């Protein structure tokens, strides 16, 4: 079965973490990140139709990337799919059924990761020679553990090359990645997803007919 090259993208988001707000972010959405890339040699204006799946593949820390079994729940699934459809239509492309041999196929994937930070002060049970030239007992500092969840959405736009063999991978000519903290209610998170999808296409002006 033809499929896109999918899982090599998961390491990219760690390279995007930078200080966009030198004074510190005041709101969660200020920490959302959007990354896009494309194949300069591909003519996006030469194709007309695209297909979009009915589901968004969902991965968590226990998922197997080579054999995903879960799909993203509502309302996030519709938020992603509706956002992608609206943007593709606005760029002049026509959505068709997957069986209609579309020129392009969109592959959206969502992932969730639990990040755990541990600060260990250590237990000093002995005397040591500290600053000031005298014996100093630093005491005992407890271990602190905190955790937070991050969510990412990966979108791949593959060219449905009719000349490929059924077992060959579809060539991916555009990718979009969004990443952010999973905080807030469903409506707030979905609004941030829509904003990030809009930003993906806003910084991809070449992606149009």
What would the pLDDT profile of 151-181 be if each residue is shown by its tens digit?
Answer: 889 999 999 988 888 778 888 999 999 988 7
Measured from the Cβ of residue 88, the count of other Cβ atoms closer than 10 Å reads 22
Model's pTM, two decimal places?
Answer: 0.73
Phi, psi (5° rounding) for residue 208?
-165, 160
Q: How far apart are CA 38 and CA 129, in angstroms?
A: 58
pLDDT at 112: 82
Name the band, by pLDDT with cuts 50, 70 and 90, for residue 148: low
The correct answer on CATH 3.30.160.670 for the domain covering 28-115+149-202 is yes
What mean pLDDT is reported for the chain?
A: 76
Q: How far apart are CA 99 and CA 84, in angstroms?
A: 19
- Which has more pLDDT, 27 or 97? 97
Choose the most confident range, by mean pLDDT, from 17-21, 118-122, 166-170: 166-170
Instruction: Find out whether 197 and 178 touch, Cβ atoms under 8 Å.
Output: yes
- Model confidence at 17, pLDDT cuts 50, 70, 90, reads very low
Q: What percent of the chain has pLDDT over 70?
A: 65
């Amino acid at each position: 079965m033809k499929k896109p090259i999918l899982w090599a993208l998961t390491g990219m988001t760690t390279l995007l973490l930078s200080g966009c707000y030198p004074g510190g972010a005041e709101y969660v959405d200020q920490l959302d990140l959007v990354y896009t890339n494309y194949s300069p040699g591909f003519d996006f204006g030469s194709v007309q139709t695209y297909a979009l799946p009915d589901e968004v593949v969902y991965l968590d820390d226990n998922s197997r990337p080579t054999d995903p079994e879960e799909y993203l729940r509502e309302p996030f699934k519709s938020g992603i799919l509706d956002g992608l459809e609206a943007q593709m239509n606005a760029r002049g492309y026509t959505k068709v059924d997957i069986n209609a041999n579309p020129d392009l196929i969109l592959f959206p994937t969502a992932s969730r990761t639990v990040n755990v930070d541990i600060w260990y002060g250590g237990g000093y049970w002995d005397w040591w020679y500290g600053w000031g030239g005298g014996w100093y007992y630093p005491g005992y500092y407890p271990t602190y553990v905190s955790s937070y969840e991050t969510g990412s959405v990966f979108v791949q736009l593959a060219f449905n090359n009719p000349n490929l063999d059924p077992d060959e991978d579809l060539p991916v000519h555009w990718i979009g990645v969004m990443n952010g903290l999973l905080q807030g209610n469903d409506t707030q998170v979905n609004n941030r997803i829509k904003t990030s999808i809009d930003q993906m296409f806003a910084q991809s002006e070449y992606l149009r007919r």
